[in-house]
Chain A
Amino acid sequence: MLGLEYNTAVVLAGTAALGLAAGSTGSLALLRRRALLADALSHATLPGICIAFMVTGSRSFAALLTGALITGILGVLVVVMISRRGKIREDAAIGIVLGTFFGGGIALSGIIQRRGADAAQAGLDSFLLGQTAGMLLSDAITIGVIALITVALVVLLGKEWKLICFDPDFAGVEGWPVRALDLLLMLLITVTVVIALPAVGVVLTAAILIIPATAARLWVDRLGPMLILASIFGVLSGSVGTVISAGTAGLPAGPVIVLSASAIFVVSLLFSPRRGIIARARSRVAQRRRQERRRLLGSIYEGIEESHVPMIGEAELARRRSWGPGRMRKHLEKASRRGLIVWGSTGIALTDSGKTLAEKIVRDERIWQQYLLSQAQIDRDLIDLDAAEIGQILPKAMVEELEAVLRAKGRLPGAAAIDTETPGGAS
């Protein structure tokens, strides 16, 4: 394909399969909040790889991965044990296990190198940072088969895993074996980490699970599409990383694969239509504009209410708000264009529609303030100044009571109507 050498094609197939498994498994790991645990797990595989090498004396794929699997699982068990029995927070337990096991692995690999086996060095180094060049056809097939089993399991148990990730208590009430499902998921994560080790390396394997899944979550809002998109991102990073690494001498595959995933993530983080940084900044600005528009009309209304003169001077309005003259002018121009105010040389007055809107704004604000002052069981979450109708949030009787209080204080807008005369010299 694409004139690639046979060897590169094999490697490409292997890393693509890897990306597929990592994307779907990583999504579940992320949603079950096991991302950090996956990191500890991958680091905990290093001593197993070294011990397997010392015992068998060979760089056989199967032997090394079996060793990795054993200490990887051991690492997870230790995390679970010390955080549950020892009253140690899980993040601390993860840090401890990660450091201890990885430190042990580095020490062991040092010993192996001192024994002077050049071949050993080559083999073990590839497990640290990932090396795809040496991948054999049989290795690629192993990865491919395991990746397919992983995807099949995710499809088969998607419903059950979705339930325990979202609401494990509810799953328990419904009689699902939450522990067993959790363990199986952890095992799946472990197997995925282990098959990723030779290509991506101990240090970076967790990233290939976490990054594509996180990027996918930025684009889609449902689990099925997230699993599919994460797998696509995984396959993309795996193959792009492999091609770049194969074409550049001395460039290890692991970092390039992870950096490819990171590139996808950065683009997603910036441009995702609802969750991206740009979209969120835009909606924040829009929200602030809305709030300022509300305050402009509210301030004009209150100024008129206090002075009993049907208009407010620009200086007086500026005193009530903290905006600079530029922003004030912009808001006034906009409100004037929308026919809410009449802005003349002597001041600013409300039109009829402006008055109606301003009354509602001030009334809602005051009802909420009165609500906070007078209700015994305050629920701040309910307060919503953008709400179309307070009566839909608070009980009608309560709104009426709050209005009665405001009316008694003479602070209920619309009760004693303010005037909406046109100021002299209207523009």
Chain B
Amino acid sequence: MTPPKSTDPNPPAIEVHDLTVSYHAKPVLWDIDVEIPAGKLVGVVGPNGAGKSTLLRAMLGLVRPASGWVRIHGEPLKRGDHGCGYVPQRESVDWDFPVSVLDVVLMGTYGRLGWFRRPGKREKDLAFHCLEQVGIVELAKRQISQLSGGQQQRVFLARALAQDARVYLMDEPFAGVDAATEAAIFEVLHELRASGRTVVVVHHDLQTVEEYFDHVLLLHLRLVAAGPIETTFTRENLLATYGGRLTLLDEAAEAVRRGAAGGPGWRPPAAPKR
């Protein structure tokens, strides 16, 4: 559905209104209303099958909603308008495809190049710069099948940087990556925020939510809560999001206890506020 034109002179980065997505009468996302402020790092958190990826895909216009609309910086989603930077899940492509790392990063410049034109020196320089930002410029000529999981993730991140977008949407960029990649992604997220971009990240690890994000969006088919970490990432809201899946929560609680006791917890997160 086409959203009405925004009258706000300073619209939020992303507005989602009345969004329902369903596969064969089964709702995957149900009546979502949320606004994401510009210039923030936003984590999307929820149990498996909560619709986190679907929400991202709906914001990108990749799934057709049963109802509702999405606006990016006050504008409706339009074809032919490269509005959002996108980091898909790593498993979504064939990593045996005959392209080099540089080829993939250059794909981020295709939107601006337009039809028929090939990437030239300017695009290549930009791609190298993006690879530098994620710390794998030395892999530029490598065939993508010879990359580790973390390196694949960084290639996707570099491609998104090459898009040079105002809003970035990332699907589980931290899943299954090595320590160095985790640190590199973390740094890139901060650089993006420092330059005023909005970054929305689907995230699976409750322990790092507070460390990584300013805002959090708790999702379980419906929107449980959304807002700044301090007021939203509470035990109460987490219980409402994860319901009976207490093992996960217990693990989080255990990590919190270890962190609070100064024990050997390896990334002690602060305790969820009550």
Contact = CB atoms under 8 A, between A and B. Distances in A.
A382 B151 CA distance: 12
Contacts of B119: 159
A393 interface: yes
B94 interface: yes
Counting chain A CB atoms within 10 Å of each CB, which of B57, B103, B178 scores highest? B178
User: Interface SS of chain B: helix, strand, loop or mixed?
Assistant: loop
A170 B163 CA distance: 11
Interface string B194-210: 00000000000100000
Interface stretch (B5-13, B39-47, B110-118, B218-226): B110-118
A242 B129 CA distance: 51
A397 B86 contact: no
A225 to B, nearest CB: 8
B238 to A, nearest CB: 16
B251 A376 contact: yes
Given A160-B115, A223-B98, A167 B107 contact: yes
Contact of B62 (A169, A176, A223): A169
Contact of B111 (A175, A394, A404): A175
Counting chain A CB atoms within 10 Å of each CB, which of B61, B78, B110, B143 scores highest? B110
Contacts of B82: 173-175
A87 B79 CA distance: 28
A177 interface: yes
Interface residues of B, number: 46
Contact of B92 (A167, A394, A400): A167
Contacts of A31: 97-98
B23 interface: no
Interface stretch (A126-134, A140-148, A214-222, A260-268): A214-222
B267 interface: yes
User: Interface SS of chain A: helix, strand, loop or mixed?
Assistant: helix
Interface in B80-125: 80-82, 84, 86, 88, 92-94, 97-100, 103-104, 107, 110-111, 113, 115-119
Contacts, number: 108
B176 A174 contact: no
A381 B95 CA distance: 15
Contact of A156 (B84, B94, B116): B116
B149 interface: yes
Contacts of A188: none
A167 B99 CA distance: 12
Nearest to B112: A174
A167 B116 contact: no
B229 to A, nearest CB: 21
A393 B151 CA distance: 12
A68 interface: no
Contacts of B38: none
Given A392-B178, A401-B264, A159 B110 contact: yes
B60 A223 contact: no
Given A172-B62, A377-B205, A379-B176, A166 B100 contact: no
A395 B179 contact: yes
Nearest to B268: A397
Interface string A377-410: 1010110000000011111111011001000000
B46 to A, nearest CB: 16
B149 A381 contact: yes
A165 B97 contact: yes
A120 interface: no
Contact of A166 (B107, B143, B179, B251): B107
B107 A401 contact: no
Nearest to B163: A174
A220 B97 CA distance: 11
Nearest to A396: B179
A381 B176 contact: yes
Interface string B221-260: 0000000000000000000000000000001000100000
Contacts of B84: 173
Interface in A284-329: none
Nearest to A27: B98
A394 B93 contact: no
B178 A393 contact: yes
Interface in A344-395: 376-377, 379, 381-382, 391-395
Interface string A222-235: 11001000000000
Interface of A: 31, 156-157, 159-160, 162-163, 165-167, 169-170, 172-177, 217, 220-223, 226, 376-377, 379, 381-382, 391-398, 400-401, 404
6 contacts: A162-B99, A175-B78, A222-B100, A392-B178, A392-B180, A404-B264
